[in-house]
Structure 1
Amino acid sequence: MGAPPRVALVTSAGFPDLWDDDHPLRDALRGRGVAVDAVRWDDTAADWAAYDLTVIRSPWDYTARHEQFVAWARSVPRLANPAGVIAWNTDKRYLSELAAAGIPVIPTEFVGPGDTWTPAAEGEWVVKPTVSAGSQDTGRYLLPGQTGLAVAHVERLTAAGRTAMIQPYLSAVDTAGETAVLCIPDATGELTFSHGIRKSAMLTAGGGGRVDVGSERITPREPSVAELDLAARVLATIPGGTKQLLYARVDLIPGPDGAPTLIELELAEPSLFLRTAPGAADRLADAILTRL
Structure 2
Amino acid sequence: MSRTAVLVSCAELPSGDGDEDAVVSALSALGFSVSWAPWDSDYDFAAADAVILRATWDYASRRTEFLSWCESVPSLFNPADVVRWNTDKSYLVELLDAGLAVVPTSLVPPGSPAAFPTSDYVVKPSVGAGSRGAARFAAGADAASHVAALHAEGHTALVQPYQSSVDSEGELSLVYLGGVFSHGFTKSAILGSTLDASGLYLSEELAPASPPADAVALAEDALDAASALLGILRAELLYARVDVVRGADGKPLLLELELTEPSLGFRQADEGAAMRFASAVRQQLA
TM beyond 0.5: yes
CA distance in 2, matches of 1:251, 1:160: 27
Question: Contact conserved, 1:119 with 1:151, CA < 8 A, in 2?
Answer: no
CA distance in 2, matches of 1:74, 1:32: 27
Task: Give the letter aligned to residue 222 of structure 2.
Answer: V
Structural RMSD (CA): 1.7
Q: Which residue of 2 aligns with 1:198?
A: 186
Task: Give the letter aligned to residue 40 of structure 1.
Answer: P
Q: Which residue of 1 aligns with 2:126?
A: 130
Q: Which runs of 5+ in 1 are unaligned?
A: 186-190, 206-211
Shift of 1:119: 3.0
- 1:71-107 superposed Cα distances (whole Å, 9 cap, x missing partner): 1111100111011100000000000110011001111
Question: Contact conserved, 2:180 with 2:235, CA < 8 A, in 1?
Answer: no
Q: Which residue of 1 aligns with 2:138?
A: 142
% identical aligned pairs: 42
- Show the 5 A alignment for 1:201-240: 201-204=189-192, 213-214=202-203, 216-238=204-226, 239=230, 240=232
- In the alignment, structure 1 residue 151 sits paired with structure 2 residue 140: no
Shift of 1:14: 1.1
Query: When the two structures are superposed, what TM-score results if normalisation uses the length of structure 1?
Result: 0.90
Task: Give the letter aligned to residue 11 of structure 1.
Answer: S
CA distance in 2, matches of 1:117, 1:76: 38
Report runs of 4+ in structure 1 exceeding 6 Å deviation: none
- In the alignment, structure 1 residue 170 sits paired with structure 2 residue 163: yes
- In the alignment, structure 1 residue 71 sits paired with structure 2 residue 58: no
CA distance in 2, matches of 1:70, 1:91: 12
CA distance in 2, matches of 1:138, 1:291: 34
Shift of 1:6: 0.4
Q: Which residue of 2 aligns with 1:33?
A: 31
Q: Which residue of 2 aligns with 1:119?
A: 116
Q: Which residue of 2 aligns with 1:260?
A: 252
CA distance in 2, matches of 1:118, 1:223: 34
Shift of 1:153: 0.9
CA distance in 1, matches of 2:268, 2:169: 18
- Show the 5 A alignment for 1:42-121: 42-43=40-41, 45-120=42-117
- In the alignment, structure 1 residue 181 sits paired with structure 2 residue 174: yes
Query: When the two structures are superposed, what TM-score results if normalisation uses the length of structure 2?
Result: 0.92
Greater CA radius of gyration, 1 or 2? 1
CA distance in 2, matches of 1:80, 1:142: 39
Shift of 1:289: 2.4
Secondary structure at the counterpart of residue 63 of structure 1: helix
- 1:93-139 superposed Cα distances (whole Å, 9 cap, x missing partner): 0001100110011111111111111334x431111100111101111
Cα distance, 1:161–1:213 mapped onto 2, change above 3 Å: closer
- In the alignment, structure 1 residue 285 sits paired with structure 2 residue 278: yes
Task: Give the letter aligned to residue 246 of structure 1.
Answer: L
Shift of 1:243: 2.4
